[in-house]
Amino acid sequence: MSRSIVESDLNPTACGFDEASLWPLPLTPFERFMVLDDRPGFPMAFYGELRFTGELRRKEFEEALHASLRYHPLLRARVDADDEGTLRWLPVEDFRLLPDWGCFDTSIRADDETKLDVTKRPGVRIWVRSGSAASYLVWQFHHACCDGQGAMRFIEDVLTQYAAATSQDAALPDVRPVELARLKTRGDYAGQIQLAARHPRSVRHQVFDALKFHCLAPRPLVERKNSEDSREDCSFPGVFSRFFSLEESTAIRTAASDKSGTLNDAAIVAVLQAVNAWNAEQGRGGRGRLRVLMPIDLRLRGDELLPAANRMTFGFITRRAAELRDPARLLEGVRDETQFVRRTGAGLDFLHVLKMLERSAWLPWLLRKRRCMATAVLTNMGDPTRRFAHRFPRQNGRCVIGNVVLESITGSPPIRPLTRVGFGIGTYAGRIVINAKCDPALYSDSDVQRILQLFADALRRGAE
């Protein structure tokens, strides 16, 4: 039978730790980067959406949010500076995450709070729109608090708590254990460095990679031709999605694996082709270099006990526009490069640079320079439900979460100046879904949907 969430339900692994010993918690170099790179027009926040069949129950959902927050201290903390200017996390006492709740047909609108200033408030917001037949929730997380995997770790707990409160099944799900003490070592990557040492890169290769990144700046996604004549209001949060059929999804994955590649490799190729096609439609394609920023998850065994946090770095895939003319060769080259990055730990270079700049004034100065870091961002969510600790019942391949059925999971990464588009790709219930979000100051909703269509077309061509 269903039941309410009470304090006794809380995980003893989490509650047995004296959380007061965490605070103040110094920011890691990656978290500091996300705080310093934050600006009103480009908040370092990412969005996601869950859609359900059935009506989300407000009381039970809000209780699930409140109970789950206890496991994730960084989602109820804010950033403060000590007397020496060192940034650290401090808890926000008595913080309660209350979702913006409305009827299913009520649109979600941006407001001043959507900038998510983590120096003033915790970096998470939730919107819920619920009706008798269908519901959806939208989340916003500041990237200083956690990455996409950390966000889904929190969402998993919320769904598990909600299922426990609304399920008619006597076998109630258990919340995944957490160890709050692991937050103290969330910025320690000794294990990853040790693994990378098995495949060392030459100094020559490291210098070449650094010069390629800093000296060969990529072209940004160009603005729409005659954009001033065709502007329209942009929706919020401005993330658009396309779903592939089961047959198409299988064909896309098979085509990549037949060339010893992955879905992520095929998606990187498709992003490069899509942005080049968009630039060509605006009369400025086929020139310069294009670069895809590729988030790299650095979690190792044992990190499943870590509360929501960042355990990631960035990799970069750069190609000249002229190299896109041979798709087969392009995929082989991207495949080899992504394998090399993961095998050698080349993505750790980004964290090493942030560490070196941690105590200097160079990082804020560098971030304010008008320079394109990447043409686009591509984040691969995989199938988040495969990482859930609790195996929810399935209905036609979809998770049954108490009284509702989870129909889809979508999301997109943050964008920044001159990195004007963020793409997402994931899989759920066997179907691939792609997402896109663009700079709302430059691109209309119809522009984003056109760019997303070019991404989808490129993926389909790769499967032919």
Q: Where residue 228 sits, what CATH number does that domain have?
A: 3.30.559.30
d(CA 447, CA 411) in angstroms, rounded, equals 18
| Same domain, residue pair 110 and 245 | no
pLDDT at 172: 63
- Are 9 and 157 in contact by the 8 Å Cβ rule? The answer is no
pLDDT recorded at residue 437: 97
Cα angle, residue 65 at apex, residues 50 and 75 outer, rounded to 5°: 95
Split into its structural domains, the chain has a count of 2
Say how far apart CA 459 and CA 464 lie, in whole Å. 9
Pairing type for strands 87-91 and 77-81 reads: antiparallel
- Predicted confidence at residue 308, as pLDDT, reads 98
User: Quick one: pLDDT at residue 214?
Assistant: 67
H runs (alpha helix) in 306-403: 327-344, 348-356, 362-368
- Average predicted confidence (pLDDT) for the chain: 90
Distance, first Cα to last Cα, the chain: 50
Does a structural domain hold residue 387? no
pLDDT digit string (tens) for 238-263? 999 999 999 999 999 999 999 999 99
Hey, what amino acid is at 412? Answer: S
**CB neighbours of 80 closer than 8 A, spacing ≥ 6?**
24, 87, 88, 89, 90, 119
pLDDT at 70: 93
Indicate if 301 and 166 belong to the same structural domain: no
Residue 8 pLDDT level (bands cut at 50, 70, 90): very low
% of the chain with per-residue pLDDT over 90: 76
Q: Quick check: is 268 in a domain? A: yes
Residue 247 and residue 149 share a domain: no
For residues 352 and 442, membership in a common domain is answered with yes
Statement: residue 62 has pLDDT above 70 = yes
Which of 22-36, 122-136, 192-206, 329-343 bottoms out in mean pLDDT, i.e. has the lowest? 192-206
- Pick 318 or 5 by higher pLDDT: 318
- In terms of domains, do 314 and 271 share one? yes
394 in a structural domain = no
In a domain, 403, yes or no: no
Query: Same structural domain for residues 254 and 209?
Result: yes
Pairing mode, if any, of strands 421-428 and 45-53?
A: unpaired
CATH of the domain at 99: 3.30.559.10
Q: Of 158, 185, 212, which residue is a domain's last?
A: 185
Domain identity same for 232 and 175: no
Among 118-127, 188-197, 331-340, 362-371, the minimum mean pLDDT is found in 362-371
Residue at 69 is within a domain? yes
How far is 32 from 143, CA to CA, in rounded Å? 10
pTM attached to this predicted model: 0.93
Average pLDDT, stretch 88-113? 92
416, pLDDT greater than 60: yes
Domain boundary among 117, 150, 185: 185
Residue 6 confidence class, pLDDT cut points 50, 70, 90: very low
- Kindly state whether residue 388 falls inside one of the protein's structural domains: no
Mean of the pLDDT values across residues 364-372? 80
On whether both 178 and 211 belong to a single domain, the answer is no
Is the same domain home to 177 and 225? no
Q: Give yes or no: residues 137 and 24 share one domain.
A: yes
pLDDT band at 229 (very low <50, low <70, confident <90, very high): very low
Q: Output the pLDDT for position 16.
A: 60
Verify that 295 and 345 share a domain, yes or no: yes
Count of C-beta atoms within a 10 Å radius of residue 406: 21
* Domain membership flag for residue 406: no
In a domain, 404, yes or no: no
| Amino acid letter, residue 354 | L
162 and 217 inside one domain:
no
Range of the domain at 16: 7-185
Residue 211 has what pLDDT? 67
Which of 150, 185, 220 marks a domain boundary?
A: 185
Q: Is the pLDDT assigned to residue 7 strictly greater than 80?
A: no
Compute the average pLDDT of residues 292-311. 96
- The pLDDT assigned to 12 comes to 42
